[in-house]
Amino acid sequence: MINLLIFGPPGSGKGTQSEKLINKYGFIHISTGDIFRKAFRTKTKLGIEARGYIEKGELVPDHVVIGMMSEELEKHTTSKGFIFDGFPRTTIQAEALDRILDKNNNEITLMISLEVEEKELITRLVKRAEISGRCDDQNISVIKNRLDVYKKTTQALIDYYKEANKYIAVEGTGSIDEIYSRIDKIVNKLF
């Protein structure tokens, strides 16, 4: 089983590229952001709890995210493999994910990190705000806070996967198809 982690700052294209990988390889896409947004639409306890953090561009506390992820993974015991998008975002989450996967004799195969310059990210997020309706895309100070939170936590996570020899960086600018073909070359070799 191949389990990928797609990593990168807000606006780097994780969701877009995940969709393309799913179509080709049949992975199950697990996006913490999508799970939270669904939870607030349906007004669950999780959604109400998470919304306060998300609106400010802060991270939802680790214990909340980890609890949610363990439940989510239990729903998919027969998966061909997962793409984790937006998780883990802290080393505590990365350690928890390893433990959860290990219970089923599973592990992360590779972290693919999309690299995009900050100026380009802001342009993409401001544009996305016009159509996404996402509460965290609407305000430039919230966007900047998300980018700052990302910068603060990134290095530790990258080091975590580098030490395990599971890290690869991919240039995240160019057309969607160009970026996908860079990623696809890497993923193809894993099988």
Residues found near ligand ADP in the complex (CB under 6 A): 10-11, 32-33, 36, 53-54, 57-60, 65, 86-89, 93, 136, 146
Instruction: Compute φ and ψ for 132, nearest 5 degrees.
Output: -75, -30
CB-nearer residue toward ligand ADP: 117 or 185: 117
Tell me the closest approach of the beta carbon of residue 19 to ligand ADP, in angstroms.
14
Residues ≥6 apart with Cβ < 8 Å to 48: 40
Taking CB atoms, the residue at the shortest distance from ligand ADP is 33
Nearest by Cα to 53 from 150, 129, 135: 135
CB-nearer residue toward ligand ADP: 91 or 106: 91
CB-nearer residue toward ligand ADP: 20 or 128: 128
Tell me the closest approach of the beta carbon of residue 163 to ligand ADP, in angstroms.
20
Phi-psi region of 105 (alpha: psi -120 to 50; beta: other; left: phi over 0): left
